[in-house]
């Protein structure tokens, strides 16, 4: 007989991060029946609603099904009591983000809007110090080139400030994700029947490949959640591919700058890529395309979230923090380009400063933000596929 260890404090914490309506659930199972992607054996989210009401923290934190849910909201739309089971699963994921990696203070700061200034002040101070040092070198806070143009490298040189900072931050985030994914997979315990196609256990690499190509890249499960969820899928895909485009641009620019430097140390001289780039340059065209695509996705997702019925589903701070930071990145990024082209130095440099702060807040706090689910969900979906956990 399995011994249960209810945790009343966990229930209160769960209610505080989006699962506040769970006490309304009276176990009618409408949510599990309505979910179009829930496994036929031990379906969710009914069992998660039971465990949450009982305060079974260990059960919920080791439940892979929490990550299989794509939060389409169908279960919450059809719930006769307004218990919002979809919000509950999102709340469990939010709590999981906070517990996987340290330092714990970042997890705490990500949990409430009152800590937002703390998250912003770290990169703000860092970049203000750099700006101040470079102002001393240039003799002004708002320098121009000899031919009178705004160049952001005059106040934030990529060679020895921006590039090293974000390289170190990225390495830290990758280590944090490795630690978090490892801990997450160790927690998981299979629920329901395990069936392997053809009776043979697949390889982890094959499962990871099928998950990325079959689900992540196409967002197929978003379509499976119902035709009326199409705007949500379009919004997610637009932002997803916008970030891919901008990541490609960043990688090309970095390699185009640093590769000639490294080769130059070996006596090999080649021409590199330098910023700012001409508007017709292919890399610049891709960057502008990514920016426009990102704005489209943000507009769709924001409109979709604002239009939600609060009685059926409720947006929480994790949702709005992520949307707000991404909005700040894209708006300031586009504004930086326009202000640079217009040579409005008194607006261009402060805008670029805000842009750097927003980018740091997205990347630096990624393991504790909702965007971290892109990594954790991929790991969970791969694990479920490896186990043979089947959907309807």
Convert the chain into a string of H (helix), E (strand) and C (coil).
CCCCCCCHHHHHHHHHCCCCCHHHCCCCCHHHHHCCCCCCCCCCCHHHHHHHHHCCHHHHHCCCHHHHCCCCCHHHHHCCCCCCHHHHHHHHHHHHHHHHCCCHHHHHHCCCHHHHHHHHHHHHHHHHHHHHHHHHHHCCCCCCCCCCCCCHHHCCCHHHHHHHHHHHHHHHHHHHHHHHHHHHHHHCCCCCCCCCHHHCCCCHHHHHHHHHHHHHCCCHHHHHCCHHHHHHHHHHHHHHHHHHHHHHHHHHHHHHHHHHHHHHHCCCCCCCCCCCCCCCCHHHHHHHHHHHHHHHHHHHHHHHHHCCCCCCCCCCHHHHHHHHHHHHHHHHHHHHHHHHHHCCHHHHHHHHHHHHHHHHHHHHCHHHCHHHHHHHHHHHHHHHHHHCCCCC
Cα separation, 15 vs 318, in Å, equals: 14
pLDDT at res. 211 = 86
Query: Could you give phi then psi for residue 221, rounded to 5 degrees?
Result: -65, -25
Cis peptide before 276 (omega within 30 of 0): yes
Residues of the chain with pLDDT under 70: 1-6, 17-19, 189-200, 222-224, 226-230, 260-272, 309-315, 389-392
pLDDT at res. 25 = 86
Cβ proximity of 258 and 74 under 8 Å? no
pLDDT at res. 77 = 83
User: Long-range contacts made by residues 77-80, C-beta under 8 angstroms, separation at least 24?
Assistant: 77/312, 77/313, 78/30, 78/31, 78/34, 79/25, 79/30, 79/31, 79/312, 80/28, 80/30
The domains located in the chain, with CATH, are 8-100 (1.10.1060.10), 108-387 (no CATH)
Cα separation, 93 vs 308, in Å, equals: 20
pLDDT at res. 198 = 55
Question: What digits encode the pLDDT tens for the residues 233-282?
Answer: 888 889 999 999 999 998 888 887 777 666 665 556 556 677 778 888 88
pLDDT at res. 86 = 85
pLDDT at res. 109 = 87
Q: What is the CA radius of gyration of the chain?
A: 23
Cβ proximity of 106 and 365 under 8 Å? yes
pTM, entire model: 0.86
pLDDT at res. 272 = 61
pLDDT at res. 314 = 63
Q: Give the angle 298-377-320 at the CA atoms, nearest 5°.
A: 35
pLDDT at res. 1 = 47
């Amino acid at each position: 007989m399995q011994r249960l260890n209810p945790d009343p404090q966990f229930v209160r914490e769960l209610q505080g991060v989006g699962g506040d309506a769970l006490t309304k659930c009276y176990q009618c199972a409408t949510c599990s029946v309505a979910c179009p992607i829930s496994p036929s054996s031990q379906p969710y989210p009914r069992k998660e609603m039971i465990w949450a009401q009982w305060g079974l923290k260990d059960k919920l934190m080791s439940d892979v099904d929490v990550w299989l849910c794509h939060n389409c909201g169908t279960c919450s739309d059809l719930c006769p009591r307004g218990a919002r089971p979809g919000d509950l699963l999102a709340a469990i994921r939010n709590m999981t983000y906070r517990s996987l990696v340290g330092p714990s203070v970042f997890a705490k700061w990500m949990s409430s809007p009152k800590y937002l200034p703390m998250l912003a002040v770290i990169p703000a101070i860092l970049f203000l110090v750099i700006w101040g040092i470079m102002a001393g070198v240039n003799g002004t806070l708002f320098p121009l080139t000899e031919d009178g143009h705004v160049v952001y490298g005059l106040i934030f040189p990529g060679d020895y400030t921006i590039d090293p900072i974000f390289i170190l931050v990225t390495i830290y985030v990758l280590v944090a994700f490795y630690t978090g994914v490892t801990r997450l997979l160790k927690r998981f315990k299979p629920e329901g029947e395990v069936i392997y196609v053809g009776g043979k256990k697949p390889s982890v690499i094959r499962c990871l490949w099928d998950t990325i190509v079959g689900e992540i890249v196409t967002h197929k499960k978003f379509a499976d959640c119902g035709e009326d969820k199409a705007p949500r899928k379009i919004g997610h895909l637009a932002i997803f591919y916008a970030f891919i485009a901008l990541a490609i641009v960043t990688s090309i620019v970095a390699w185009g700058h640093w590769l000639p430097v490294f080769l130059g140390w070996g006596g090999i001289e080649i021409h590199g890529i330098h910023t700012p780039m001409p508007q017709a340059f292919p890399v610049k065209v891709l960057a502008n395309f990514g920016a426009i695509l990102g704005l489209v996705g943000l507009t769709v997702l924001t409109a979709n979230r604002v239009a939600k019925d609060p009685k059926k589903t409720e947006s929480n701070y994790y949702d709005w923090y992520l949307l707000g930071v991404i909005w700040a990145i894209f708006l300031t990024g586009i504004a930086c380009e326009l202000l640079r082209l217009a040579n409005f130095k008194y607006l261009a440099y402060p805008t670029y400063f805000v842009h750097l702060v927003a980018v740091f807040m997205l990347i630096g706090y990624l393991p504790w933000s909702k965007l971290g689910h892109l990594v954790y969900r991929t790991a969970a979906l791969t694990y479920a596929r490896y186990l043979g956990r089947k959907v309807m």
